[in-house]
Amino acid sequence: MSSRYQLTDQELSELEFEHRHTTDKRYADRVKAVYLLGKGWSVTKIAQALLIYRETVRNHFQR
């Protein structure tokens, strides 16, 4: 896993909470992308799973 995508357990927990409590699909997808990056998924695998572009996944993490 790339060190630039590492998240703490606390950050992962916060993302799980955000995902469970949002009704905005776009925001939920953004949260999922960042969460999965933090869990070690590749940008390509996340993009395929969420049906979005790889660059979009990278942009989500930078926000």
- Per-residue confidence band for 5, with pLDDT thresholds at 50, 70 and 90: confident
Q: Is 14 exposed, middle or buried (0-12, 13-18, 19+ CB in 10 A)?
A: middle
Q: What is the pLDDT of residues 6-30, one digit of tens each?
A: 899 999 999 999 999 999 999 999 9
Among candidate residues 63, 4, 62, 61, the one with its CA nearest the CA of residue 32? 61
Rounded distance, CA 16 to CA 45, Å?
19
- Per-residue confidence band for 4, with pLDDT thresholds at 50, 70 and 90: confident
Task: Determine the Cα angle at 23 with ends 42 and 51, to 5°.
Answer: 30
Q: Over 80: is that where the pLDDT of 63 sits?
A: no
